[in-house]
Amino acid sequence: MSYPKLRNIEAFPIEYEGEKLVCLRDPTHLSDRPLFVKSSSVFLLSQLDGRQSTSDIQAAYTKQVGYAIPSEQIHDLIYQLDEHLLLDSEHFRQRKKSIEDTFSRAECRQAAHAGTAYEAEPLDLAAQIERFFTEAIGPGSLQPADSTEPVAALIAPHIDFHRGGHCYALSYQALKGSLDADIYVILGIGHAGLQHSFTMTMKDFSTPFGVMKTERAFVEQVQAACPFDVMEDEFQHKNEHSVEFQIIFLQYLLQARSNATIVPVLCGSFHEMIYSGKTPLKHPEVSGFIRALKDAIDTYGKRVCVIAGVDLAHVGMRFGDSEPLTEAFLDKVQQSDLQLLQHVENLDAEALFHNLASTHDQYRVCGYPAIYTMLSVVNPRKGTLIQYDQAADHATQQAVSFASMVFN
């Protein structure tokens, strides 16, 4: 590999047995094997831009640190990166094509996070989900919510269960008394990045609880009315957790109801609009997809409930902030989040957009595209904030906020 090029990967510091390391991880999950390298390798990684030979990199390292590095050490790092599919190489491209072809041929999208993010055995998983309902900070009851008013939409987190399980339970408890929808449109976030603003899939979803069928004719109706190919980024559904986690809770509530179906949607980034200040309503792809989705919801002939799986702020040094995670800082984040959620309660997607645009989304609200889309395709009378929470890890200097909301 004469001119090695690093892919767009995640890199963050960790400490293991007193040694400072850097964890390198593939955000697309084409490789599920993280690579841990010494912090002294960071400069070498920064030189893997596809324009420099290994000799150039060796010379740049010598100039940067004042002493030479053996070429074997550079080649060893490059070999490890390629083995972990972290380089833009022929090896990576062949492996990627093989994985994509296998996924494309499959009728069912297999559970990607069973046995890691949640229990893999059905009985163990049911017990795990039940604990989120019955623990002290959960809703405390598996009985239907007080109100049986139809639920038009729901906001639940997509954070991992061990940090946000109670908030998932609070969201789905609100849905429990209104499980009369025929179709659940699930709006997740495409964390690995999409070519288009949205992507859908016609694949059914398999979890330890069984297979949840996708309403394929509904997807086809949206596709036919959409100004772009909503299936072009379909592969991003393979490992994305934000839809999968909602399906787990939905299946747990539905239990024996096997006739309800889903419409899985991943939302891409709206950052272009946030930074330009131009509302998504004026973005052809976004507005076109929203029109197509709303029309399908209104005309398909079955009752639809929309679920937005979203997290809110992502703050701390892990996400690029210079300010440490003090209580005062987290209070500022909470105030900002609650202001945003007030716009959501008011069912005002444009006010939500302008609030985020005014600060260039300073706290990185990753779930914003799904919230905006949800508010744009349903017509509820009211929105209610059930719970707001933050999961802060002071050791790694990162915090994520999330919320539970219901729309009737």
25-34, 122-131, 210-219, 340-349: range with lowest mean pLDDT: 25-34
Whether the Cβ atoms of residue 375 and residue 155 lie closer than 8 Å to each other: no
Whether the Cβ atoms of residue 309 and residue 158 lie closer than 8 Å to each other: yes
pLDDT band at 90 (very low <50, low <70, confident <90, very high): very high
pLDDT at 17 over 90: no
Task: Give every CB contact of residue 237 below 8 A, 6+ residues apart in sequence.
Answer: 109, 199, 201, 203, 243, 264, 266
Question: What is residue 307's DSSP assignment?
Answer: E
Q: Where are the domains of the chain?
A: 10-101, 108-407
Question: What is residue 403's DSSP assignment?
Answer: E
Q: What is the pLDDT of residue 248?
A: 97
User: 108-407, which class in CATH?
Assistant: alpha beta
Q: What is the pLDDT of residue 145?
A: 53
Per the model's pLDDT, the better-predicted residue between 139 and 88 turns out to be 88
Question: What is residue 111's DSSP assignment?
Answer: P
Maximum alpha-carbon separation in the chain: 71
Q: What is the pLDDT of residue 180?
A: 86
Q: What gap in Å lies between CA 135 and CA 166, rounded to an integer? A: 8
How do residues 218-240 score in pLDDT, each as one tens digit?
Answer: 999 999 999 999 999 999 999 99
Task: Compute the Cα dihedral for 109, 112, 115, 119 and give only its sign.
Answer: negative
Degrees to nearest 5, angle at CA 82 with 79 and 84: 110
How do residues 273-311 score in pLDDT, each as one tens digit?
Answer: 999 999 999 999 999 999 999 999 999 999 999 999 999
Question: What is residue 38's DSSP assignment?
Answer: E
Q: What gap in Å lies between CA 202 and CA 181, rounded to an integer? A: 19
Q: How many CB atoms lie within 10 A of CB 64?
A: 13
Predicted TM-score (pTM) of this structure: 0.89
How do residues 22-81 score in pLDDT, each as one tens digit?
Answer: 999 998 888 888 999 998 899 999 999 999 999 999 999 999 999 999 999 999 999 999
59 burial type by CB count under 10 A (0-12 exposed, 13-18 middle, 19+ buried): middle
Q: What gap in Å lies between CA 382 and CA 213, rounded to an integer? A: 30
How do residues 165-215 score in pLDDT, each as one tens digit?
Answer: 999 999 999 888 788 899 999 999 999 888 899 999 999 999 999 999 999
pLDDT band at 142 (very low <50, low <70, confident <90, very high): low
Element (H, E) at 351: helix 349-358
Which residue in this structure is represented by tokens 């293991």?
A: 16
pLDDT at 146 over 70: no
Q: What is the pLDDT of residue 139?
A: 82
Q: Amino acid identity of 57? A: I
Q: How many CB atoms lie within 10 A of CB 277?
A: 11
Domain 10-101 sits in CATH at 1.10.10
Whether the Cβ atoms of residue 197 and residue 285 lie closer than 8 Å to each other: yes
Q: How far is CA 23 from CA 50, 188, 265, 271, in A?
A: 21, 26, 30, 26
Q: What gap in Å lies between CA 349 and CA 368, rounded to an integer? A: 10
